[in-house]
Amino acid sequence: MTAETAETAETAETAETTELHVLSPATEEVVATVPAASAADVDTAVTRAARAQRAWAAAAPADRARLLRRFAAVVDDHLEELALLEVREAGHTVGNARWETGNVRDLLDYAAGGVERLTGRQIPVPGGIDVTILEPLGVVGVIAPWNFPMPIAAWGTAPALAAGNAVLLKPAETTPLTALRLAELALEAGLPEHLFQVLPGEGPVAGTALVEHPGVAKIVFTGSTRVGKGIMARCADRVKRVTLELGGKSPNIVFADADIEAAALAAPMAFLDNAGQDCCARTRILVQRGAYDRFMEILAPAVEKVVVGDPADERTQMGPLISRAQLDRVRSYVPDGADAVRGSAPEGPGFWYPPTVLTGLAPDAPAATEEIFGPVAAVLPFDDEADAVRLANATDYGLSGSIWTRDVGRALRVSQAVQAGNLSVNSHSSVRYWTPFGGYKQSGIGRELGPDALAAFTETKNVFISTEA
């Protein structure tokens, strides 16, 4: 769920650093310094993980499930500590950070419930019995982004562990603190040493080493489409499995027959949550012409009222962007004098940008088609249902979206016509840990979460046993 500045495994050469300096996005102060993993560190970690994985896979399923539930309980015991770490390193509002920690806890519990239910099948065949067996892949590499450091790391880690794999987690350079703490809590919960390791480091160094290592069976990457393509190409050389969750430019489609007030009041936080640093953000607001003026009358004051400020303040609704580079990127999409509805943001230290809704754009304008990854949305009018679907699909992405209408038939028709992996009707919900998540087109490959998450970290082995011998 990141943009071009996301955590990377770049092709470019770069000087290897030995330390990562973690900045507070709200103050620009250094809040921590952590050692950066080298390619040699990754190699050592893979060797240790492979050894731990063999013992883990051989353990009784009930024992693995019990340890994962214990891990969830330990996370819950440290919920406030982890949330405050997320506030410090990522600039998330404290309310969001608490939810994110709770999501990690709940996902570990959910994955634990699947350990003893990860079963194969008996398939009728002539002359014998045929069964399938789901076996763990081995060592899985998870490359997590900076925009949701904790939950997205858990999306890959929890089901991979539950399926009997070892996990090497490489967090983003800017947000390694919660990942490192989770690894400590895993040991405290009793998970075997080296089964779950965290490797903070630069994308071109630690990330590339993880992607290219022959001992890593699968890569789970969340980040930009550009970087995801590079990772996919590297993995192709070894036919290494990948799950990629990449960019988005999600539509928020509002028909004239919808509850316009509800749709307009819900629209701001649909693209301002996490300061817009979410590829599910509904940054293309498509409004039917007959409802456009009324929608904007409600939307404008709602945007202006959004509270932007100190992420540790319980009243804050939106915090800062992650970095100076991301702030510059967002600014580049909003020309001086652009027609827009704007909120307010603090001045001074910190990577602040005000909530912004652009109007009067051409449908093919960069701000209307490219992933900005900040608190900026574009409002575009449409004529009818066919026009709405055409605009919604006029992008390389297909991750999520929303449809606002009182017509059930229309809701179903448009849901089938919009090319996206996750849609909501009369709401903006996209992600639940018990339902599948992933994108169409250049928004990614594979699905995470949901009841099939564990199976994505297994190989299916077919065994035929003759009864005629």
By annotation, the residues acting in catalysis are 245, 279
Question: Can you point out the beta strands (E) in 37-127?
Answer: 122-125
What's at 300, amino acid-wise? A
DSSP output for 353-403 = ---EEE-S--TTSHHHHS---SSEEEEEEE-SHHHHHHHHT-SSEESEEEE
The tokens describing 8, both together, are 């990377």
The tokens describing 324, both together, are 């100076």
Q: Are 156 and 243 a contacting pair, CB within 8 Å? A: yes
Q: Which residues contact 265 (CB under 8 A, 6 or more apart)?
A: 298, 302
Q: 424 in helix, strand or coil? A: strand
The number of beta carbons lying within 10 Å of the beta carbon of residue 249 is 25
The tokens describing 46, both together, are 């893979």
> From CA 184, how far away is CA 395, in angstroms rounded?
42
- Strands 376-382 and 284-288: what pairing? parallel
The tokens describing 160, both together, are 């991979």
Give the burial class of 386: count Cβ atoms within 10 A of its Cβ; 0-12 exposed, 13-18 middle, 19 or more buried.
exposed
> From CA 323, how far away is CA 326, in angstroms rounded?
5
Give the burial class of 300: count Cβ atoms within 10 A of its Cβ; 0-12 exposed, 13-18 middle, 19 or more buried.
middle
> From CA 107, how far away is CA 158, in angstroms rounded?
7
Q: At what angle do helices 408-417 and 385-392 cross, to 10 degrees?
A: 30
Q: Which residues contact 332 (CB under 8 A, 6 or more apart)?
A: none
> From CA 266, how far away is CA 226, in angstroms rounded?
31
Handedness of CA 338, 288, 387, 303 (dihedral sign): positive
The number of beta carbons lying within 10 Å of the beta carbon of residue 397 is 27
Alpha carbon 165 to chain centroid, angstroms: 21
Phi-psi group of 18: left, alpha or beta (phi > 0 → left; psi -120 to 50 → alpha; rest → beta): alpha
